[in-house]
Structure 1
Amino acid sequence: MSALDEARDLLASLSGAPVAGVWSSAGRVNLIGEHTDYNEGFVLPFAIDRRTYAAVGVRADDIVRVASTFDPDHPVEMPIARLATVFAGDAGAAVQRGEVPEWAAYPLGVAWAALDAAGRGAHTVAGLDIAFASDVPVGAGLSSSAAIEGATAFALDELWQLGLEGIQLAQIGRTAENEAVGAPTGIMDQVSSMLGRVDAGTFLDCRSLEFEPVDLGFAREGLVLLVIDTQVKHAHSTGGYRDRREACERGAAHLGVPALRNVGVDDLDRARSVLDEVTFRRVRHIVTENQRVLDTVRTLREQGPRAIGELLLASHASMRDDFEISVAELDTAVDAAVAAGALGARMTGGGFGGAAIALVEAGAEEHVSRAVTDAFAQAGFAQPRIFPVTASAGAGRDV
C-alpha cells in the first residue's frame, strides 16, 4: 500500500468526516552545503522521490487533531486557541515538558506559525483532522521533519485560505522547527522540500532567500545518486547540532561579522590568529563549504555532474575533521563507495548519524551497494539501507 493510501486509511479510522484533500511534501538530499544555512551561506539540496502525505478532514469544532502511522493509536489534539499559548515562548518547551510529543509538535507548530504569519485569529479557521503517512526514512538525514512541515503548511494554506506564498510557507516550517520543536536548524530543508523542481537542485542563498534551479544532469550523464542510510538515528533538537551552531555564532562574534557568510577563504589566516583551535576548525568548515557550494554550481553548469566528485569528497573530509559531525558508519559508507568506483561521496544532513550519498555510474548500483554492505558487516555495523533517489517536485496537493 502506498503512503498516500495509508494516510487516507488512517484518516478514515480517525474521523467520520470526508477527506477534504491529500497534500504531500518531499524529503530532501543535500548535494553539498552542510551547516551553512544557519550561517546565512549557500546550499545546494534537492527534493527527492520520497514523500510525506497529509490526508485532511474538516471538523465541526475548533480542534486540530493529528495522527501518524508512526504511532497510530495515539493521536494528539489541541484547541486552535491554545496553539499560541503552548508554542510561543521558550523554544521547544512544550516538547521538553512532555506536553506534546516531538512528532506532533511539527504539524501543530506549523498550524500556530501559519496563523501568526497570516495574521489570522484562532476563531477564523475550522478545526481539522490530519493523518500522516510517509516513505521518507526518519532520522536518516533526509529531512522527514521538513516533509511533514511542508505537507501540513500547504494543506493549511489552502483549507484555511491563508493566501501565503511558497517561500512564506518554508519560513513557517522553519519557525515551527526552531520554536515549537526547539531544533536550531536553518531554512535549507524547508525550501528544498517544499519548493524543489524535477531534475534540478535548488541553489539557495540563505541570507537573501533567493533561489534558483540548477540542472543536475545525472540521468543524462548516465549517473545515479545512491542514499546510504546507516540506520544510526540522530535528532537535531539535542546534542551536537546545537553545539556546532553556537560555535559558529561564537566565531562570527569574535571575527566581528554578523554571520560566517561574511568570512571568505582569504580571511582564514586572520581567523586562526584570533580563535581557539576548535572554534577555528568549525569556522573553517563553514567558510570552505560555502566556497564548495559555489564551485559545485559552477562545475555543474560548465562541466556537468561527472566533475563534482572531488568537491563531494572534500566536503565529507571537512565535516569529518573540522566540524566533527561524522560517525564511523558514515566514514565507512563513503570510503567503501569510493573504493567500489563511486565518482564521489559524502555524508549528508546534520550529522551524528543519518545517511551518506554516493554518485555512481548507472548499472553499478548493485556493485557499490554490495561493497558498502560488506564493509559494514566486516566492521560489525548494522546493515545499511541503500536506495537510489531522483530530484523531484516539492510540496503540493495530490488529491
Structure 2
Amino acid sequence: MNTTNRADTPPDSLISRFEVTFGAAPDGVWAAPGRVNLIGEHTDYNQGFVLPFAIEKRARTAVRLRDDSTVRLLSTIGDQGLVEADAAALAPGAVTGWAKYPLGVVWALQQHGIKVPGFDLLLDSDVPLGAGLSSSHAIECALITALNELTGAGLSAEEMVMLTQRAENAFVGAPTGIMDQSASLRGASGHAVFLDCRDQAVQLVPFEAQEAGLVLLVIDTKVSHSHADGGYSSRRASCELGAQILGVSALRDVAVTDLQNARGLLDPTTFRRVHHIVTENDRVLQTVDTLRAHGAAHIGDLLDASHASMRDDFEISCPELNLAVDKARTNGAIGARMTGGGFGGSAIALTPVQDEQQVRDAVILAFAAAGFTRPEIFSVTPSAGAARTS
C-alpha cells in the first residue's frame, strides 16, 4: 500500500463516521494488528521457522452486512474515495489500490465455499504503510475475522491464515508466505509467535524486553516497498530453484552441515540465497532457545547476524536500512536488523532503555547527513491478535 498513514481514530469516532457515511450503525468493529518479525526472514515460504509478534498498531474495520451483493469500501487513510464492487463478480487482477486487500479476502472465502453477502466497510489503520510491518495483512485479518463471525463460517485461526494467504497470492498477486497472517491472527500479549510454517504449529515464546531493561525500537526508513514487485518474486524463485537442485521439497530440509556440499552444486547467486535461508532457520531456533533459557538480553548477536545475511547473501537491504542498523548498533543497541520482506521498510533495534534517546538521535542525524527522508522511530511490544473490539 502506498498511501500516507493517518492518526489513530478512536473506535467510537469510527462508528460515528460509519453511521454518517453509510446511514446506519455497523454490525461491529474488528481490529487486527500489524507485526514485527523478531527474526526469520523469507523462511516462511520455504516451510521454515519464523518468530514474529503482533504489535499495538492495528487496522480497524467497521462492517455492516447488506441484503444484496454490493460491497462498499471507504478508507480514512488518504483521499481514496468510495469503492464499490459486486461480491459475486470478483476476479484476480480486476481490482487495484487498497481495495484489493479486503476484496481478496471476500474472493478467497467464496473460493472456499463460503457465501459472502454484500457489506459496507469503513477502514482505519495506524499501522505504518509500506514499512514492512504488514499493514496489508492487518486489513485482511481484521476483515476475515469480521466475516467469519458475521457469516457464521466457523473458521479456525489456521484456516483463516491459509485463506488470507490465498487472497495475497492469487488475488493480490504477492507471493507471500503465512508469517504475517499468523502473527496477526494468533498473537498474544507479551509473547512472540514461534511458527513452524510447514505444519502451522505455534508455540508462544515470552519476549519480555521491558523486564530486561530493554526496548525494541522500530526505525521506519520511509522507503516504501511492495511484495508484489519483482525483487521478492525473484528471491522466492531462487529458493525454489535451490530446493529443486538439492533434491528437497523445501529449503527447510537443508541443514547447515549440508551447505558445503550445496556450494558445489549451485551457481554463486543461488547458493547465497540458499545460504541465507538455511542459516536463518538455524538462527530462529537459536533465538527461541536463548529467549527461553536466558531472556531477551542475549539475542543481540543473532539479530546482527540475521541482518548481515540479508544484506550480503539475500541482498534485500538498502542504504537506508543499513545506515539505521549501523547507527543503532554503534550508539547502544545490543542487536539490530532489517525486518520484513526487504527493499525498504523498517529496521528493529533492541536497545537498553538508558540508550534509547541516543539511538533515536543518532539515527535521525545520520539520515539527515545522508540526505535521506527523516525516519519515524517508535517502540513496540508484543500484543494480542485479531479480535472484535465493539
Q: C-alpha distance in 1, partners of 2:261/2:10?
A: 53
Q: Which position in structure 2 is the counterpart of 1:374?
A: 365
Q: Partners of 1:373 and 1:294 in 2: how far apart?
A: 33
| Amino acid paired to 1:131 | L
* Cross-structure match for 2:3: none
State the AA in 2 paired with 1:109.
G
Match 1:195 to one of 186, 199, 204: 186
Would you say 1:12 and 2:29 are equivalent positions? no
Give the CA deviation at 1:289. Answer: 0.1
Is 1:70 aligned to 2:64, yes or no? Answer: no
- The offset of 1:4, in angstroms, is 4.0
3-state secondary structure, aligned to 1:267: helix
**C-alpha contact (below 8 Å) 1:4/1:53 kept by paired residues:** no
Distance 2:366 2:14 in 1: 37
Backbone CA RMSD of aligned residues: 1.3
> Which of residues 55, 58, 74 in structure 2 aligns to 1:51?
58
Aligned equivalents of 1:115, 1:146: Cα separation in 2:
18
Deviations 1:339-390 (A, max 9, x none): 0010100000000000000001123221110011111111111111000011
Alignment partner of 1:108 is 2:112: no
2:47 to 26, 40, 49: 40
Letter in 1 for 2:213: G
Note the alpha carbon deviations across 1:88-146, whole angstroms, 9 max, x for none. Answer: xxxxx22xxxxx223111101101112332x234xxx4321011010000000000011
1:80 and 2:75 equivalent? Answer: no
Residues 38-95 of structure 1 deviation map (CA, whole Å, 9 limit, x = unaligned): 0000000000010000011222322122111124552222222112xx13xxxxx22x
Cα contact 1:102–1:181 (8 A) shared by 2: no
Aligned to 2:329: 338
Percent sequence identity is 55
Which position in structure 2 is the counterpart of 1:97?
Answer: none
The answer on 1:145 being equivalent to 2:139 is no
**What does residue range 267-278 of structure 1 map to in structure 2 within 5 Å?**
267-278=258-269
Q: 1:2 to 1:233 in 2, by over 3 A?
A: closer
Q: Which residue of 1 aligns with 2:377?
A: 386
Q: Secondary structure at the match of 1:208?
A: coil
Report if the CA contact (8 A) 1:7-1:69 is conserved: no
Q: Secondary structure at the match of 2:212?
A: coil
Structure 2 length normalisation: TM-score?
Answer: 0.96
Match of 1:60 among 40, 63, 67: 67
Contact 1:51–1:134 at 8 Å: present in 2 too? Answer: yes
Alignment map for 1:97-176 (pairs within 5 Å): 100-117=95-112, 119-121=113-115, 125-176=116-167
Note the alpha carbon deviations across 1:235-261, whole angstroms, 9 max, x for none: 010120001000000111111111100
Q: Aligned partners of 2:367 and 2:20: how far apart in 1?
A: 41
CA contact (8 A) 1:47 1:196 kept: yes
Contiguous gaps of at least 5 residues in structure 1:
88-92, 95-99
Consecutive unaligned residues in structure 2, runs of 5 or more: 1-6
User: Cα–Cα, structure 1 residues 267 and 342, in superposed 2: closer, same or farther, change >3 Å?
Assistant: same
Indicate which of 9, 16, 20 corresponds to 1:3. Answer: 9
Aligned length: 383
Contact 1:11/1:57 (8 A) holds in 2: no
Secondary structure at the aligned position of 2:323 is classed as helix
Residue 15 of structure 2 contacts residue 25 of structure 2 at CA under 8 Å; is this kept in 1? no
Give the match for residue 346 of structure 2: 355
What TM-score, normalized by structure 1, do the two folds share?
Answer: 0.94
Per-residue deviation, 1:169: 1.0
Q: Deviations over 1:211-242 (max 9, x none)?
A: 11000111111110000000000001012000
Q: Distance in 2 between matches of 1:325 and 1:7?
A: 37
**Aligned partners of 2:144 and 2:21: how far apart in 1?**
21
Q: Does 1:312 align with 2:303?
A: yes
Q: Counterpart in 2 of 1:238?
A: 229
Distance 1:38 1:293 in 2: 15
Does structure 1 conserve the Cα–Cα contact (< 8 Å) formed by 2:32 and 2:60? yes
Aligned residue number for residue 25 of structure 1: 32
How far off is 1:208 after superposition? 0.8
SS in 2 for 1:19: coil
| Aligned residue in 1 for 2:210 | 219
Q: Which amino acid in structure 1 is aligned with residue 97 of structure 2?
A: E
